[in-house]
Chains A and B, each alone.
Chain A
Amino acid sequence: MGAGAALLTLEGISIRFGGVTALREVSFSVRAGEIFALIGPNGAGKTTLFNVVSGIYPSQAGSVVFDGQDLGRVPPHRIAALGIARTFQNIELFDHATVLQNLLIGGHTRRRTGLWQDLLFLRSTREAECRLRAEVEQVIDFLELQHYRDALVGNLPYGVRKIVELARALCVGPRLLLLDEPSSGLNAEETDDLAFWIEDIRSDLGITVLMVEHDMALVSRVSDRVLALDQGRVLALGTPAEVQRDPSVIEAYIGSADR
């Protein structure tokens, strides 16, 4: 459990959509090398938090600092190059492209060739493509996607698409991986595989993982620390066992005992 210095620090993040306050003064930090889970009922603001970190929503108050750099003014397409990759709750793959193409797009931040080199497919492009392919193949081996390499994503079953999206995020070569409900729609066996992979991503690839997850069994199994959110507010932060015992968390999920 290599829990090092803070890799990602959120300080007083608040977001309002019109009259709805999605996040209220949320502060926490994710240490390098840990698996950090965000839990909370629907509408708690978990995905909004992800969108703030990945730059899609500019935070209206507070700051997001990743590895010493303030992400406040960084446009969303620069986030990946800093080492943050993400997946989406409803799967946002490139449906009309093959699995391989999807993963190669994941390596986009490492492109070194320009438009003219690409148009003429010069040696530099050819070599860069082979290098990128070799890196992508490692991810394919890691997540056992060999069978699906040339399949169109749109034709794949839901569970496989979920894994392809994880693979694509790994192809970015991130230091921090944001997983938005990685196990939703997976069966028990697939969830089991996922748990192994998340642990391997941390231990073998050295990637810090921040995930939103509803499956408490998975959360307790893989995560080091858990943050519970409800209606945009932090309820509790601690180990999975501590958070599950926390009375305010229990209240948020199933209501209070005495009325």
Chain B
Amino acid sequence: MYFRFPTSYEQDLQLFNSPGQRARYVVAAIVFATAPWWASEYLLSQFNLVLIYGIVGLGLMLLTGFTGLVSLGHAAFLAVGAYTEALATAHGWSFPLSLVAASTLAAVAGIAVGLPALRLRGIYLAIATMAFGFIVEEIAARAESLTGGNAGRSVAGLEIFGWPVNSEARFFGVTAVIAVALVFALRNLLHAPTGRALIAIRDSEISAQSMGISLARYKTLAFTISAAITGMAGALYAHKLRFLSPDQFTLLQSIEMLMMVVIGGLGSLQGAILGAAFFVALPQVLGEVKDWLPPAIGQAPGLQPTLFGLVMIAVVLYEPLGIYGRWSKLRIWVENFPLVRSGTFRRQRTYQRSQRLQ
């Protein structure tokens, strides 16, 4: 058991708030940094997918988990980033520059969606972003000279200043650096005034406004940053798959992204990565288990979406903080063993606004 007695305000700004936490992250960092030496090419390829979806998750988490704005159009930002990267690479732009271009263009798209979205909330915002998703999908299908239309477009391999990123291990290095940098940046942001303003908007718009937070400015900012991060993921996605077509950026993808952050755990950066890992691992695990199941279930069509749906329902009902929430509880249980009381994790009954008036 660890008791924390901070003696200066600086201490509260540190990256980790206990030696145990730091140890856990250092071990995880060492394990994953050495992955190219112990993991197979296939496993590394899966790690890369986790990281790319993890970056998407980080972007969406900032918007949905921290600012409380639901987006059903995030696949569109991924598309903008991916196609920009494909075009920029085709024109011989070097990778850092094309990554910035992909991210910037996605950010511009984010502003374009964010501004009209200022007047919308909840389900209406979700519908507006969904419409944006359809528009981008349609443009990707029609602008054949740029995107190759429905026939698709192949993307050149990644090359950074003459260093060919031609193996999964090298690609893992690139995505890991970008993902870690983004986690750091977002973690910083959330512990600074900007991030707190976003959290304030999520929890109560009216009082955020009364505290001097401009809703228009911070909501647009959230959309912009979220889109920029997703655009970055799009650039990596383009090089990972080497082939882009509009059917990779449909509403279904947007919904899956949203499910990913909800299952991972809304309101935590760790949740974005864990959600992505779950998202990539589930089909794999299912593939392994399939043969053990009775054929009526194992070979049933739509097994994977059904399972996704069931997990989603379970999360919403029993663990609103998702995988990360479950992990936190497990950790607290182990740390406090054998002193955990049965009521430690009982959810407090909070009064909804309408209930209070009764």
Q: Which residues of A contact B (CB under 8 A)?
A: 54, 56, 75-81, 85-86, 88, 90, 92-97, 101, 104-106, 108-109, 111, 113, 115, 117-121, 125-126, 128-130, 133-134, 137, 154-155, 168, 172
Q: Is B189 engaged at the interface, CB distance under 8 Å to the other chain?
A: yes
Question: Can you list 18 contacts pairing A with B, beta carbon distance less than 8 Å?
Answer: A80-B210, A86-B210, A90-B356, A92-B207, A92-B210, A96-B202, A108-B200, A108-B212, A108-B213, A109-B211, A111-B193, A118-B188, A121-B192, A125-B188, A129-B191, A129-B192, A133-B9, A172-B211
Task: Give the residue among B193, B195, B350 with the most A Cβ atoms within 10 A.
Answer: B193
Does A118 contact B194, Cβ atoms closer than 8 Å? yes
Chain B nearest CB from A216 CB (Å) reads: 23
What's the A-B contact tally at a CB cutoff of 8 Å?
Answer: 117
Interfacial residues of chain B within 182-240, with CB under 8 A of chain A in the complex: 185, 188-189, 191-197, 199-200, 202-204, 206-215, 221
- A149 — nearest CB in chain B belongs to which residue? B12
Chain A nearest CB from B217 CB (Å) reads: 8
Number of interface residues, chain B, beta carbon within 8 A: 35
Q: Given the known A-B contacts A90-B353, A96-B199, A120-B188, are A115 and B221 also in contact in the complex, defined by CB atoms under 8 Å?
A: yes
Compute how far the CA of A95 lies from the CA of B208 in the bound complex, rounded to whole angstroms: 12
Q: Which residues of B contact A (CB under 8 A)?
A: 9-10, 12-13, 185, 188-189, 191-197, 199-200, 202-204, 206-215, 221, 267, 348, 350, 353, 356
Q: Which residues of the partner chain A approach B189 to less than 8 Å between Cβ atoms?
A: 115, 118-119
Chain B nearest CB from A101 CB (Å) reads: 6
Given A77-B209, A77-B215, A85-B210, 9 further pairs, Cβ under 8 A:
A76-B210, A79-B210, A92-B207, A92-B210, A108-B197, A109-B211, A118-B193, A128-B193, A129-B191
Q: Which residues of the partner chain A approach B10 to less than 8 Å between Cβ atoms?
A: 126, 130
Compute how far the CA of A81 lies from the CA of B196 in the bound complex, rounded to whole angstroms: 17
Compute how far the CA of A72 lies from the CA of B46 in the bound complex, rounded to whole angstroms: 58
Compute how far the CA of A96 lies from the CA of B350 in the bound complex, rounded to whole angstroms: 11
